[in-house]
Amino acid sequence: MNKKINTESNNEVLQALFQHEMEKSARLRGVILIGLLLFIGVSLLLVYLFFGEQYKTIFESNIAIYALLIYAVVIVVYETILHYLLKTQSDLLGRKSYFFTYLTTFSEIGLFSVLLIFVVERSQTLVILSAPAVLTYFILIILSTLYLNFKLSVYAGLLAAITYVSISFYYYYGIEPNQGFGLSVIQYLGQGIMMITAGISAGFVARLIMFKMNISLNTIIEKNEIVDLFGQQISQQIAQEILENPNELTGVRKNVTIMFLDIRNFTPFVENKEPEEVVNYLNKMFGFMIDIVQSEKGIINQFLGDGFMATFGAPISVDNSSERAVKAAEKIIITLNRKIESNSIPNTRVGIGIHFGEAVTGNIGSMARKQYSITGNVVILASRIEQLNKRFNGQLLVSEEVFDRLDSSRKEKYLALGSLKVKGREKPISIYQLKEGHE
């Protein structure tokens, strides 16, 4: 059910982005068409200026160039108005996108077809139907791609082909104009087929653009989900690794190392302190601890008032998570002692317990609120080990499972305390304590 709701939410975002991109593309299309027609108009005037006599030999009048210039002016005015409406009426496409885009395409191709009819009627020759001006159909078909609609591009190609072939056949068989510069029937049909092909090709390009947009949006959605899920629990480096390995977020069994940290004698310490002093103290304490945990690719799963739980090896698997967790714990103790010596923070002791084992990891919650959760006996035992620090007056205890995975040089820092009973477990567990002088 949650996956279905999430899909529906993503679809809504996709639709909103599509509308936004469609508005931008429609405005861009208008600007491009205006620029192209202005270029064509200027080019035609230059051609007429230098090759006016040849032009009159073909058309026997100036009607064709006048008609093309008039068409360019009309379309420029038309597209300018549309561009203004799209810019000022941002919901125009959203309310009537289907009707609007098809009407615009019909208007542009229809106006050009009327121009062809006008030129043929006035010149009584089919020259215009085989002239470069006919390529304007292809320009309109190509620009339909910017509407990001496969069917619209195919529609543009079909409409251009039908109107062009219909006009060509009507005048080819209906009247007897000067055929000297005209095409044969099969050539007119060939032109129409090429227009249809251009429309289909433009449609596939539009579909490909939409496909790429969907991929980009889904990537953004995944990134946002990770940001919402983890907040400030993880470093940018780990966040990037999660993005590259999204399957790590699913509910799976993993071997992880769990660290529990507790500030000793916190309640008596804050008893006579103002709330602002307590918050400032905790910020100073947790600030450097978080940095150390993240430097060893761990994440802070949750704060527990005067402590926290951290995980190494999930959501992203790391090499020897136990070594990393113990290294982070030792750094925390060393840094804490240095800050105490420099009077940066009051005299403070911590208790840290670390255990390695299998856990079930994954997202738990609803669409409104999710949390990345680590569950299993490994979590419970790590908490129990941390509490044993009070009995042995230590600051760092690790289980045998963790100790066995440490580098030999690091093992020398630890003292075996033997097998101990812990609450919630029948079998005793072997515990190792960080020796004095290494704290």
Question: How far, in Å, CA of 378 to CA of 91, rounded?
Answer: 55
Question: How far, in Å, CA of 44 to CA of 138, rounded?
Answer: 18
Q: What is the pLDDT of residue 342?
A: 92
Q: What is the pLDDT of residue 354?
A: 97
Q: What is the pLDDT of residue 232?
A: 52
Question: Same domain, yes or no, for 126 and 258?
Answer: no
Q: What is the pLDDT of residue 4?
A: 45
Structure tokens at 108: 């542009």
User: Which run of H or E residues covers position 225?
Assistant: helix 185-230
Low-confidence ranges of the chain (pLDDT < 50): 1-7, 93-96, 177-180
Question: How far, in Å, CA of 16 to CA of 58, rounded?
Answer: 52
Question: Same domain, yes or no, for 203 and 277?
Answer: no
Q: What is the pLDDT of residue 352?
A: 96
- Tokens 């600051």, located at residue: 395
Residue 439 lies in a domain: no
163: CB partners within 8 A, 6+ apart? 109, 110, 113
* CA 121 to chain CA centroid, nearest Å: 55
Question: Same domain, yes or no, for 191 and 324?
Answer: no
Q: What is the pLDDT of residue 271?
A: 80
Quick check: bond before 315 cis, omega within 30?
Answer: yes
Residue 319: what are its φ and ψ, rounded to 5°?
-75, 125
At residue 437, the 3 state secondary structure works out as coil
Residue 389 lies in a domain: yes
Q: What is the pLDDT of residue 61?
A: 60
Question: Same domain, yes or no, for 195 and 302?
Answer: no
Q: What is the pLDDT of residue 372?
A: 64
Question: How far, in Å, CA of 128 to CA of 402, rounded?
Answer: 86
Residue 107 lies in a domain: yes
Question: How far, in Å, CA of 223 to CA of 12, rounded?
Answer: 17
Question: Same domain, yes or no, for 120 and 264?
Answer: no
We report the CATH number of the domain holding residue 249 as: 3.30.70.1230
pTM of the model: 0.52
Question: Same domain, yes or no, for 114 and 131?
Answer: yes
156: CB partners within 8 A, 6+ apart? 105, 109, 140, 141, 144, 199, 202
Structure tokens at 382: 């790590």
Q: What is the pLDDT of residue 360?
A: 84
H-type alpha helices, 147-184: 150-174
Please say whether the dihedral angle defined by the alpha carbons of residues 233, 235, 239 and 242, taken in this order, is positive or negative: negative
Domain carrying residue 418: 236-434
Please say whether the dihedral angle defined by the alpha carbons of residues 316, 321, 325 and 330, taken in this order, is positive or negative: negative
- How many domains does one find in the chain? 2
Residue 420 lies in a domain: yes
Tell which of 227, 248, 271 closes a domain.
Answer: 227
Question: How far, in Å, CA of 362 to CA of 242, rounded?
Answer: 13
Is there a contact between 353 and 264 (Cβ–Cβ < 8 Å)? no
Q: What is the pLDDT of residue 95?
A: 45
Question: Same domain, yes or no, for 149 and 53?
Answer: yes
Q: Per-residue pLDDT tens for 193-225?
A: 999 999 999 999 988 887 887 777 677 666 666
Question: Same domain, yes or no, for 101 and 174?
Answer: yes
Question: Same domain, yes or no, for 246 and 193?
Answer: no
Question: Same domain, yes or no, for 268 and 167?
Answer: no
Question: Same domain, yes or no, for 205 and 274?
Answer: no
Is there a contact between 196 and 158 (Cβ–Cβ < 8 Å)? yes
